Amino acid sequence: MKDIALFSSKLPSNVRLKQVTLDLTKYMEAAEALVEQAERAKITDAETYAKGGDLISFARAQSQKAEDERLVLMKPFTALTKFVNAAYKLPKERFTDVRSIIEAKMMTWKRIEDERLREEAKEERKKLEAEALERAILEKTEEAQDEVLDAAQSAGEELIEDAGVKLQRGNYGSSTGTKKTYHTEVVNIKEFLGALLANIENGNKREIDLGAIIDFKKSGMNKFAERLYKAGVRQMPGAKFIETEAIRVY
């Protein structure tokens, strides 16, 4: 037997709103009795095989009875949960609208500002290259000239690559930056798989390392092999197709 006392943080800690008493003795006794019968049972012929099905059926009926009782007890709490969730849903959605509205405006400004900063970086790169060319003319060897020009080119490329709005700190603890995400879509499965297989290996040269781009988890591969089995495949190199049989009681 278990007693569950429910309290509200809005009330003094010694005030009980509701107390539920659960007495599961009858279910535990019935379950233990059926388990003992299952352990004693000997399946030796068609008759005892059928009685085994009866035992499973009895246990299932008792389990369903306990489940029905649980649902009755949970009904008021489930209704309360639905009520509270629905009540808080609208204000939470409106708070989310704040992000949707302001984020669109922020991204519009950022795209314009990023482009402006990139153009500034391109102009700065031209200056760097011009200055580097002047210095290179003064160098006495071609190797030294190449080194100066290469350094200027690298610095210029870095300027353009790093151009853009950086992390911004607000006055109230916010930190605003961006994160790039990518969306991909396979529009023709057969064509895509054909191209993938054709590029996995080209002669002796491996062009695509699948292990570097696909996480081959065993659970996923097992699920894929299961679908192959359902489609009629019974043998495949690198996989085992094992058929098992289980008792079904109707």
* pLDDT, tens digit (0-9, with 9 covering 90-100), for 130-176: 887 877 777 777 777 778 778 878 887 888 888 888 888 888 888 89
Question: Which of 87, 121, 138 is the C-terminal boundary of a domain?
Answer: 87
pLDDT at 221: 80
Rg (CA), the chain: 35
The whole-angstrom separation of Cα 216 and Cα 187 is 23
Instruction: Report yes or no on 241 lying in a domain.
Output: no
pTM: 0.55
Residues 41 and 60 placed together within one structural domain of the fold: yes
Residues 83 and 21 placed together within one structural domain of the fold: yes
The whole-angstrom separation of Cα 249 and Cα 60 is 10
Q: How far is CA 157 from the centre of its chain?
A: 36
* DSSP tag of 205: E
Residues 83 and 105 placed together within one structural domain of the fold: no
Instruction: Report yes or no on 135 lying in a domain.
Output: yes
Per the structure, the count of domains in the chain is 2
Q: Are 221 and 233 in contact (CB under 8 A)?
A: no
Instruction: Report yes or no on 219 lying in a domain.
Output: no
The alpha carbon dihedral of 224, 227, 231, 237 has a sign of positive
Residues 83 and 48 placed together within one structural domain of the fold: yes
Mean pLDDT of the chain: 82
Residues 10 and 46 placed together within one structural domain of the fold: yes
pLDDT at 93: 94
Q: Are 53 and 249 in contact (CB under 8 A)?
A: yes
206 Cβ partners below 8 Å, 6+ apart? 200
Q: How far is CA 241 from the centre of its chain?
A: 29
Bridge partners of 205, per DSSP, are 202
Instruction: Report yes or no on 127 lying in a domain.
Output: yes
DSSP letters along 60-112, please? HHHHHHHHHHHHHHHHHHHHHHHHHHHHHHHHHHHHHHHHHHHHHHHHHHHHH
Instruction: Report yes or no on 235 lying in a domain.
Output: no
Residues 64 and 15 placed together within one structural domain of the fold: yes
Instruction: Report yes or no on 218 lying in a domain.
Output: no
Residues 106 and 152 placed together within one structural domain of the fold: yes
7 Cβ partners below 8 Å, 6+ apart? 13, 15, 16, 17
Domain limits for position 36: 2-87
Residues 142 and 69 placed together within one structural domain of the fold: no
Taking 50 as the pLDDT cut, the residues of the chain under it are 1-8, 11, 15-16
Question: Which of 145, 162, 179 is the C-terminal boundary of a domain?
Answer: 162
Buried b (16+ CB within 10 A) or exposed e, 203-232: eeeeeeeeeeeeeeeeeeeeeebeeeeeee
Residues 115 and 72 placed together within one structural domain of the fold: no
Residues 9 and 83 placed together within one structural domain of the fold: yes
Question: Which of 25, 55, 87 is the C-terminal boundary of a domain?
Answer: 87
pLDDT at 14: 52
Tell me the residue type at 39. Answer: E
